[in-house]
Amino acid sequence: MSKHILRFHVNDRAVEVAVEPWHTLANVLRNDLNLTGTKIGCDMGTCGCCTVHVDGKARLSCLTLALECQGAKIATIEGLNEYEIHPLQRAFAECGGSQCGYCTPGFIMQSCAMLKENPDPTRDEIKAGLSGNLCRCTGFMKIYEAVERAATEMREKPVSAPVKA
Partner 1 sequence: MPIVQGSGSTRNEHQKNKGVWSDSGSPGVVANSIIGKPAPLKDSLKKVTGEAVYADDMKFPGMLFCRILRATVPHARVKRLDITKAQAMPGVRAVVTGRESGVRFGVLPVSQDELSMAQEKVIYTGEPLAAVAADSEDIAQAAIWAIEVEYEALTEFLRPQDSLKDVEPAQQIHDKVEKKHPKTNIHKAVDQEFGDVEGAFKQAASTPNASFKFDGISHGFTEPHAVIAHWDAEDRIQLYTPQQVPHYTHRALAKVLDLPMHQIQVIRTTVGGGFGGKSDPFQHEMIACMLARNTRRPVKVTMDREETLLTGRGRHPTESKVAMAFDKDGKLLALDSDVLIDGGAYGSFGVVSAYYNGVLSNGPYLLPAFRYHGKRVYSNRIPSGAMRGHGSVNPRYCTETLVDMAAVELGIDPCELRLRNFLPPNSITPHHKFRVTSTGIREGLMEAMKRSEWSKKWGKLPYGHGIGVGCAWYISGSALPIHWNKLPQSTVHIKIDMDGGVTCHSLAADIGQGSDTMIAQIVAEVIGCKLDRVHVKSTTTDTAPIDLGSYSSRVTFMAGNAAREAAEVVRKDLAAAASKLTGQPAQYFDFAGEEIVCRSKPSVRVGFMEALHEAQADRGALIASGSYQSPPLGGDFKGSNAGLSPSYSFSAFICELKVDPDTGFVQPIKVWAAHDCGKALNPLSVEGQIEGSVHMGLGQALTEQMRYRNGQMLNANFLDYKIPTPFDTPEIEAIIVESHDPEGPFGAKECGEGALAPVIPAVGNAIFDAVGVRMFEVPMTPDRVLRAIEAKARKEREA
Under the rule (CB under 6 A), what is the footprint of ligand FES? 40-43, 45-50, 60, 62, 98-104, 135-138
Residue among 34 and 71 whose Cβ is closer to partner 1: 34
For 148, residues 6+ apart whose C-beta sits below 8 A from its C-beta are: 123, 126
Stretch of 53-61, 103-111, 112-120, 155-163 contacting partner 1, by CB under 8 A: 103-111
Q: Is the C-alpha dihedral spanning 90, 91, 92, 97 positive or negative? A: positive
Question: Of 51, 156, 159, which Cα lies nearest the Cα of 104?
Answer: 51
> Are 95 and 145 a contacting pair, CB within 8 Å?
yes
> Are 78 and 145 a contacting pair, CB within 8 Å?
no
Does residue number 25 form part of the binding site for partner 1 (CB under 8 A)? no
Strands across the sheet containing 73-75 = 13-19, 4-10, 73-75, 51-54, 57-60
Binding residue for partner 1 (CB under 8 A) from 10, 19, 25, 40?
40
For 22, residues 6+ apart whose C-beta sits below 8 A from its C-beta are: 65
Does residue number 136 form part of the binding site for partner 1 (CB under 8 A)? yes
Residue 25 contacts which entry, ligand FES, partner 1, none (Cβ below 5-8 A, type-dependent) = none
Separation CA 104–CA 119 (nearest Å): 20
Binding residue for partner 1 (CB under 8 A) from 10, 26, 35, 115?
35
CB of 156 to ligand FES, least distance (A): 27
Does residue number 118 form part of the binding site for partner 1 (CB under 8 A)? no
Contact set with partner 1 (CB under 8 A): 20, 30, 34-44, 46-47, 49, 76-78, 80-81, 85, 88-90, 92-94, 96, 98-105, 108, 126-128, 130-131, 134-142
